[in-house]
Each structure stands twice: as C-alpha cells, then as structure tokens.
C-alpha cells in the first residue's frame, strides 16, 4: 500500500509538471526572463565562450517545429542565447548592455540551433526589441 501511494503521488506530480510546460512554435515571440552573462562551452571545438548573453526564463518552455520546417527540432529549455545582429557584426553585450542583470520581456525571432553547432538549443540571432520589467 505504501508503494502504491508513493507511485500515485510521483505520477501526479510528474503529470502536473508536464501540464504546466508552455509550448511555442519557433518564430516571433515575446518572452520574459532575466538577462545574464554566462560562460558557455562550444559543443564541437570545446572552446569557452566567455560572457555570452543569455535570457534565463523563470521556468522551462518547449519549442516545437513549425510544420513547414525540415530543419527545426523540439527543444525544452530555460536558457536562450542572445547573439544580436551577427550580419552587422554587432556585439550584443555592448549594444544591449542596459538589459544585463535585468528582468525583461524580449520580442524577437526565436530560432532553433542545431545541437553540435551552438551551445544552446534556442537562439535570438537578429535585432530584437525589449521592455525592462525590473
């Protein structure tokens, strides 16, 4: 009886965790979290990427592929790498330094990053807009 009760509570606690996980399609979204600088390790060459700008969400979210995409994959994460505009060779740590350490809402194109190519599975690559919450 004791094991049945433990199994029952474990099942329902895991079920409730799965139900509270928000799901989004990749693309234009507004998400709220805290922007931090974090050292990441490149998955292929192992080099440390110092002070990478990362949006840390309060809880994990699930990104699901768009139906027309063949390259995207499902990703569940709390951390999203902010690259800024790489085509203009803009360092996001300089351009967006006002949001480091702040809770913000970032409206951007959230894009899938193939594992092995990037340290995190979801990235913000182009310019984005933000609103500082606190």
Class of residue 78 by CB neighbours under 10 A (exposed 0-12, middle 13-18, buried 19+)? middle
At 86 the pLDDT is 65
Residue 30 main-chain phi, psi, to 5 deg: -120, 115
Across the chain, which has 134 residues, the per-10-residue mean pLDDT values are 44 52 94 96 88 96 90 92 76 87 96 80 89 93
Is residue 59 a contact partner of residue 33, using CB atoms and an 8 Å limit?
A: no
At 94 the pLDDT is 84
Start-to-end C-alpha separation, the chain: 49
Residue 29 main-chain phi, psi, to 5 deg: -145, 160
At 107 the pLDDT is 96
At 20 the pLDDT is 81
At 118 the pLDDT is 80
CB-CB neighbours of 71 under 10 Å:
10
Query: Is the domain 22-132 a CATH 2.40.50 member?
Result: yes
Q: Report the alpha-carbon distance of residue 34 to residue 44 in Å, rounded.
A: 27
pTM for the complete prediction?
Answer: 0.80
């Amino acid at each position: 009886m004791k094991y049945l009760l433990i199994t029952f509570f474990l099942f329902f606690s895991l079920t409730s965790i799965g139900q509270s996980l928000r799901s989004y399609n990749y693309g234009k979204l507004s998400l709220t979290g805290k922007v931090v600088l974090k050292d990441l390790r490149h998955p292929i060459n192992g080099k440390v990427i110092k002070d990478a700008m990362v949006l840390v969400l309060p809880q994990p979210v699930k990104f699901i592929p768009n139906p027309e995409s063949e390259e995207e994959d499902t990703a569940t994460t709390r951390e999203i790498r902010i690259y800024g505009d790489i085509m203009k060779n803009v360092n996001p740590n300089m351009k967006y330094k006002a949001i480091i350490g702040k809770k913000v809402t970032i409206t951007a194109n959230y894009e899938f990053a193939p594992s092995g190519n990037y340290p995190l599975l979801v990235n913000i690559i182009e310019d984005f807009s933000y609103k500082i919450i606190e």
